[in-house]
Structure 1
Amino acid sequence: MYTADQLCEKIISIYPDIGICGIDVSVDYNTTEKSWMVHLKKGSHTLDHFLEAMDAESCMEGKKCIALGLEIAQMRKNIEGEQF
């Protein structure tokens, strides 16, 4: 098993341009949903994403977090669209 801090650091290592753990990215385990909740914040944009245990394991093994990656891509698109 791994901690929220370890998962956060791993997400940052895979997606280094999304922010800093504890500031732009935070991770908590949601006991109700039995999955990890990833909170992303960039400027005025925020995103909360449930990261299923299988996806979290994939992240911890150094693979891409596919579902989270799609959410991050959408968030980037929203941010870039605002900058014009």
Structure 2
Amino acid sequence: MSGPTEIAAAITALYPEIARHGIDVSVADDPATGEWLVTMRHGAHSLSTHLGKDDAAACLRGISCAALGIQIGRFVENYCLGQGECPT
């Protein structure tokens, strides 16, 4: 299984709005759940969400991660588009 750096790179490749809006993405193993913890940050705003191992494997294969995509969309909408804080 790949590590957090590879998963973060795959997520960024799948969702170009991350780079377009200057959002930082980090991934860490969450031993309490056995899943990955994906954290998005821009300025003072952050959002963390869990990514299951199967979903992470799909991301690494270049397949959209539906649940994560929804969270990314909400983050961009709430903290970038809605508040105009992120570059476009």
Query: 1:40 aligns to what?
Result: 40
What runs of 5+ residues in structure 2 fail to find an aligned partner? Answer: none
Moved over 6 A (4+): none
Q: RMSD across aligned C-alpha pairs, in angstroms?
A: 1.7
Corresponding residue pairs, total: 81
Q: Distance in 2 between matches of 1:16 and 1:7?
A: 15
Q: Under a length normalisation based on structure 1, what TM-score does the superposition of the two structures give?
A: 0.87
Q: Distance in 2 between matches of 1:83 and 1:26?
A: 23
Q: Distance in 2 between matches of 1:40 and 1:83?
A: 17
Identity in percent: 33
Q: Distance in 1 between matches of 2:83 and 2:8?
A: 27
